[in-house]
Structure 1
Amino acid sequence: ESFQRCEADCTQNVVHRVYSVKNSSFLFYLNYSNKWKRQPQHLSGLEIIRDLCEGKLEGGEIGSTEITFTPGKIKGGTHIADTKTAGSVCLLMQVAMPCVLFAASPSELHLKGGTNAEMAPQIDYTVMVFKPIVEKFNFTFNCDIKKRGYYPQGGGEVVVQMSPVKVLSPINLTERGTVTKIYGRAFVAGALPIKLAKDMAAAAVRCIRKEIRDLYINIQPVREPDDQAFGTGSGIIVVAETSTGCLLAGSSLGKRGKNSDKVGIEAAEILLRNLKHGGTVDDSLQDQLIIFMALAKGVSRVKSGPITLHTQTAIHFAEQLTKAKFTVTKLEEEVPSKDTYIIECQGMGMINPNL
């Protein structure tokens, strides 16, 4: 996890540099052991940033531990990023989205790789949870899943369409409300039978029922159409929606030798853990909001559970590379066992010079 965060942060650092300074070069060192070197999906992320801002990237080879990046003007148009592996298209989207929001014209991103990959948000999470929440920053985007791709081949493709904005609005996510809906999808693709999806869904429902008894739980078992999926894969996502519009989720992926019941229970337990802390976001969304809070004009506030390592690191680099200022305050008045915090950010107020 630490390696994944390190690599992701290097890429996010480059994103921050696109905003903070133009026409200056920056050198990034990656202190990896020989076991961990830059992977294809990380290089794809760096390359799409380079292309989006007409920048220059030196040292961007597989396995390199040093890069030099020179940003230019962010432009719109059509851009393609292909990991050529099962590397996550969702991580590519995370990297590209803050850039295209401040482009000169609308953008269409063709992102190729894994749609449901380990160590990354599933595309279902991105569409069902990340999208409706991040759009509270006053922008919208369309995410069209052309084909799903799984480990190890990848082969998935997602097309993202976005228009630029003048400025991002701050968000205030501090009221959890009560859980009003629980829903989700359990999927199989390729050679796997639909029974596995049904087993995952049933196991998740049984697990949630032990804690929440008064709500209908609607988890749909799905077999992905053969022409809309490449390779074989399985997984589940379960989402809880609250009376104030909060969305929290738990997800898990199947793999060879992993019992389908265990996959469903794993997703359910993650959801229940996120519901117990009393925050308005789950531990997967927490760090994904940091860069948007940093870029927004005004003060954003988010109530969360325990601050993850991902979030701590994202805050550190956002403050190092922009004028945004974060404070994290433990809510002492809350039930102590809930370990609840307020993440507050005075955003840098990035203004799109092209609009």
Structure 2
Amino acid sequence: MASTLVNNAVVKFSGHEHLRNRVVLSLLSGKPIRIDKIRSDDKDPGLRDYEVSLLRLLEKICNGMVIEISYTGTTILIKPGIINGGLVTHECPTSRSVGYFLEPVLMLAPFSKKPLNLTITGVTTDDKDLSVDLLRTVTLPHLQLFGISEGVELKIKKRGAPPLGGGEVQFSCPIVRTLKIINFVEPGKIKRIRGIAHAVRVSPQLSHRMVEAARSVLNRYIPDIYIHTDVYKGQDSGKSPGFALTLLSESTTSAIHCAEAVSQPGASPEDVALVAARSLLSEIRAGGCVDQKHQCLVMLMMVLGTEDVGRCRIGPLSERSIQFMRDIRDVFGTTFKVVPADPSDLDSKDLVISCYGTGYVNSNRSVA
């Protein structure tokens, strides 16, 4: 969706598809945004419950943020405030997992006034968003590339499977003044595969069956495989039964690719494991130093980095990433250079993206 500048102040977007990223860009840049035509042609037009819940969560994290929602819910105007951080609790609707809410928070938290300590409840793993396992084992290490490491933590207190949820997660993040720039263009060779097979309110044996099924595929390629079984019981297991498998591969240059699969009605643990294992192999085959799920995060941190050229090798750009590049151009005025990683290799679809960092400084930060 295209965007335009209105009165040289408000950046205008249309459509609901990229709402999270656009709100994040508004809060970081300090520019107000207006999003209209939010499902205006639907039988049920306007914002969904999870989108309203996300805006309420960001209101808790920010000080002075103003959100104006039209009567029909098809238009919102957001005037950003100061990213405050601090101690925050939030209950998510069960229509989306907590990963939907944590992704934008992860982008904002390092630039808070005070270190963020967020307790969030709801569904911890579903088939739409990044699970808390992926966020903990893959997303947080991506933040380390930019110098955000010490004190970043994601604790899974309770797991909550859909549809009723009941999970609880604690996320804490320190504040930084500036980000490091990256030059990450060597994907390396895969050296190990790790995973988490979790089961809640079902037989613990299902976790072991997922491990064995995943190994039957992955052991053909690499011997260094360790999949941890994580079984929650009693109150810590949420309100609904379910199981899932999260897998990640790590290369010799610390490039991480990930995949996961979640239990569906009628699906056996073996089915779930085979989907996850094959999805991981597809991600690895796609190439790059960053997988598709984390392209947007890396792009944003590159834009906010020090005033120097940052470079990163990625696989084919996702539709979400392409739109995010356009939104970054509209809000920050920064454009990316995208070139083939290896022009001589016609079979390679890897790209190298580069941009000049804005030298973003966390002016919200409390001075001790």
TM-score by length of 2: 0.87
Name the SS for the 1:285 alignment partner.
helix
Task: Report the counterpart of residue 310 of structure 2 in structure 1.
Answer: 300
2:191–2:224: 8 Å Cα contact kept in structure 1?
no
Query: Which of residues 234, 237, 240 in structure 2 aligns to 1:226?
Result: 234
Q: In 2 relative to 1, CA 324–244 (structure 1 residues): closer, same or farther, beyond 3 Å?
A: same
How far residue 86 of structure 1 moved from its aligned partner, in angstroms, is: 4.7
Query: Which of residues 90, 111, 125 in structure 2 aligns to 1:116?
Result: 125
Query: Which of residues 285, 290, 293 in structure 2 aligns to 1:281?
Result: 290
Q: In 2 relative to 1, CA 164–184 (structure 1 residues): closer, same or farther, beyond 3 Å?
A: same
Which runs of no fewer than 5 residues in structure 1 stay unpaired? 1-5
Task: Report the counterpart of residue 3 of structure 1 in structure 2.
Answer: none
Q: Distance in 1 between matches of 2:107 and 2:28?
A: 9
How far residue 251 of structure 1 moved from its aligned partner, in angstroms, is: 0.9
Task: Report the counterpart of residue 276 of structure 2 in structure 1.
Answer: 267
Bigger shift: 221-230 or 111-120?
Answer: 221-230
Task: Report the counterpart of residue 339 of structure 1 in structure 2.
Answer: 349
Q: In 2 relative to 1, CA 108–221 (structure 1 residues): closer, same or farther, beyond 3 Å?
A: closer
Question: Which residue type is aligned with residue 217 of structure 2?
Answer: C
Q: Distance in 2 between matches of 1:182 and 1:15?
A: 32
Task: Report the counterpart of residue 99 of structure 1 in structure 2.
Answer: 108
Task: Report the counterpart of residue 27 of structure 1 in structure 2.
Answer: 34
Q: Distance in 1 between matches of 2:70 and 2:138?
A: 32
Query: Which of residues 289, 302, 310 in structure 1 aligns to 2:320?
Result: 310
Task: Report the counterpart of residue 166 of structure 2 in structure 1.
Answer: 155
Task: Report the counterpart of residue 7 of structure 2 in structure 1.
Answer: none
How far residue 172 of structure 1 moved from its aligned partner, in angstroms, is: 2.2
Q: Distance in 1 between matches of 2:45 and 2:357?
A: 34
Alpha-carbon displacement from aligned partner over 1:62-113 (angstroms, at most 9, x marks no partner): x722111111222121122322325221221221233332222212112222
Q: In 2 relative to 1, CA 60–84 (structure 1 residues): closer, same or farther, beyond 3 Å?
A: farther
Q: Distance in 2 between matches of 1:26 and 1:345?
A: 24
Structure 1 residue runs of 4+, over 3 Å off? 332-335
Task: Report the counterpart of residue 256 of structure 1 in structure 2.
Answer: 265
2:178–2:362: 8 Å Cα contact kept in structure 1?
yes
Residues 1:239 and 2:239 are matched in the alignment:
no
Q: In 2 relative to 1, CA 44–300 (structure 1 residues): closer, same or farther, beyond 3 Å?
A: farther
Q: Distance in 2 between matches of 1:187 and 1:50?
A: 33
Q: Distance in 1 between matches of 2:301 and 2:59?
A: 20
Name the SS for the 1:301 alignment partner.
strand
1:86–1:150: 8 Å Cα contact kept in structure 2?
no
1:101–1:164: 8 Å Cα contact kept in structure 2?
yes
Q: In 2 relative to 1, CA 119–219 (structure 1 residues): closer, same or farther, beyond 3 Å?
A: same
Q: Distance in 1 between matches of 2:169 and 2:17?
A: 20
Matched residues, number: 345
Task: Report the counterpart of residue 172 of structure 1 in structure 2.
Answer: 183
Name the SS for the 1:166 alignment partner.
coil
Question: Which residue type is aligned with residue 232 of structure 1?
Answer: P
Which runs of no fewer than 5 residues in structure 2 stay unpaired? 1-14
Name the SS for the 1:193 alignment partner.
coil
1:80–1:109: 8 Å Cα contact kept in structure 2?
yes
Name the SS for the 2:254 alignment partner.
coil
Question: Which residue type is aligned with residue 41 of structure 1?
Answer: Y
Question: Which residue type is aligned with residue 260 of structure 1?
Answer: P
Q: Distance in 2 between matches of 1:132 and 1:290?
A: 15
1:49–1:99: 8 Å Cα contact kept in structure 2?
no
Alpha-carbon displacement from aligned partner over 1:224-249 (angstroms, at most 9, x marks no partner): 23332202111101111111111111
Q: Distance in 2 between matches of 1:134 and 1:36?
A: 36
Q: Distance in 1 between matches of 2:192 and 2:70?
A: 45
Name the SS for the 1:87 alignment partner.
coil
TM-score by length of 1: 0.90
Bigger shift: 52-61 or 281-290?
Answer: 52-61
- Counterparts of residues 50-199 of structure 1 (less than 5 Å): 50-54=59-63, 55-59=65-69, 64-140=73-149, 141-190=152-201, 192-199=202-209
Name the SS for the 1:284 alignment partner.
helix
